[in-house]
Amino acid sequence: MMQGEPEGVLKTGTSTVGITFNGGAVVGADHRATMGHFVANKSVQKLFRIGDNLGLTTAGLVGHAQSLSRTLAAEVALYELRRGQQMTVKGAATLTANILSGRPHWVQLLIVGVDADGPSVYSIDSAGGSIPDVYCATGSGSPYMYGVLEDGFREGMSRNEAVLLAARALSASGQRDAASGNGMDLAVITRKDGFQLVPQAEISALLASHK
């Protein structure tokens, strides 16, 4: 993510990932924020819970990302209060796309979650384009992440397989992309347990077991 950058060219120095598995989805992001070639912060939050069944990752300008996360969390909560049911992943993606198409932000987002139709991942660009997929990576680290994802992803993965794949992808980007790194946050989203952060000890153990 970028801090204090002048608006003019969209920069998405970061690494975020969303992966579907059998019964749920994994979503994650690294911790680094940059100002040009300078590491401005090593513990930036780029993964947000916006509903019990929904996660958001952000790449781009920190201020825009934080503002959007607050807006989306409030809109999802209001929807659930009025309707008495959870917003679908497609609905959250459409809401996000509509917000961005009305007033473009310098961000690239992932909306990841689970609903009655199963798990899904939506990539949303700064102008409101919305694309569904079974897995996706965003930010400057995405080329390194896709090498891992395309080699390791398969339909019907288990929860632990998907968490390991996401951790490996983020670890690869942290080693090769100067704008990504300083650790990661991962969350698992299922219909039964909702949005659950993966303990850092589990992430470390999974990565160590794969070496």
Amino acid at 123: S
Distance CA 162, CA 63 (A): 30
CA–CA distances in Å: residue 25 to residues 93, 96, 98, 121, 122: 15, 19, 24, 8, 12
Please say if 14 is a catalytic residue.
Answer: yes
Distance CA 4, CA 62 (A): 8
Element (H, E) at 184: strand 184-190
Question: Do 17 and 55 meet the contact criterion of CB atoms below 8 Å apart?
Answer: no
Question: Do 195 and 27 meet the contact criterion of CB atoms below 8 Å apart?
Answer: no
Annotated catalytic residue, options 12, 14, 58, 88: 14
Task: Give the residue numbers annotated as catalytic, written as ranges.
Answer: 14
